[in-house]
Copies of this chain bind each other. A is one copy, B any other.
Amino acid sequence: MTETARISRIPKARRQQIRQANETAILQAAEKVFAEAGYGGATMQLIADMAGLPKANLHYYFPTKEALYRRVVQNIFEIWLRAADSFDQAPGPVEGIGAYIDAKMEISRRHPDGSKVWASEVMHGAPVIQDYLETTLRDWTEGRTAHIRRWIDEGRMAPVDPQHLLYMLWATTQHYADFGHQIETLNGGRPLSDRDWQKAKDTVKAIILRGIGATGSDT
């Protein structure tokens, strides 16, 4: 480990360091504001205040409101794609779908704002990420439905329509983020506890895995 690396790039890359710090601060603030107010309701001023920067500085890092918004949406999309890994390297539907549910529920818990921004974007007709839907998401979906079809052919689960099964998984898991406020209200105004989240996961997995007649890897 060289000295410059150990002291974390004092002279040269301090610029980059500051730049990245400001960018992430802005992105975090933006995610929250976009989630709470929607794209139209969000203001650059509010994002700037929340990030602790003057408004003009935002436009130095992100030229327009739309550019900033686009980055926020892309970040979320990548997090979601990463959750798909659980799906792939699984011997059977119980492990694969079970792990996928766990992963997506965890995302709903840790990144509720991101989920809301995504939902809002799609609800409004996906004005900025339509191409993602048509390319990356479509490819991803086709791969997964093929996977599910294989499980069905192997008799490891009931012959349910893979597409609608995927929709169900998305809907159910993301609901805990997008409608978190409603759930919290019905929970007596208190956020879900660790135990509540565990119960949510267990219930969702139980119903869906039994619903598709899934069997474990042991044949």
Cβ of A61 within 8 Å of any chain B Cβ, yes or no, is no
A119 close to B178 (CB less than 8 A): yes
- Answer whether A200 and B116 are a contact pair too, CB < 8 Å, given A39-B40, A172-B172: no
Nearest-neighbour CB distance to chain B for A147, whole angstroms, equals: 16
Cβ of A55 within 8 Å of any chain B Cβ, yes or no, is no
- In the complex, the count of this chain's copies comes to 2
| Chain B residues whose C-beta falls within 8 Å of the C-beta of A161 in the assembled complex | 199, 203
- Answer whether A181 and B123 are a contact pair too, CB < 8 Å, given A160-B207, A208-B207: yes
| Chain B residues whose C-beta falls within 8 Å of the C-beta of A186 in the assembled complex | 133, 137-138, 141, 163
Nearest-neighbour CB distance to chain B for A42, whole angstroms, equals: 7
Which stretch in A3-11, A17-25, A81-89, A209-217 binds the other chain?
A209-217
Main secondary structure of the interface of A (DSSP, over half): helix
Cβ of A90 within 8 Å of any chain B Cβ, yes or no, is no
Cβ of A218 within 8 Å of any chain B Cβ, yes or no, is no
Binary flags per residue of A26-66, CB closer than 8 Å to B gives 1, else 0: 00000000011111111000000000000000000000000
| Chain B residues whose C-beta falls within 8 Å of the C-beta of A165 in the assembled complex | 203, 207
Nearest-neighbour CB distance to chain B for A34, whole angstroms, equals: 10
How far, in angstroms, from A40 to B41 measured CA to CA in the complex? 4
How far, in angstroms, from A210 to B212 measured CA to CA in the complex? 8
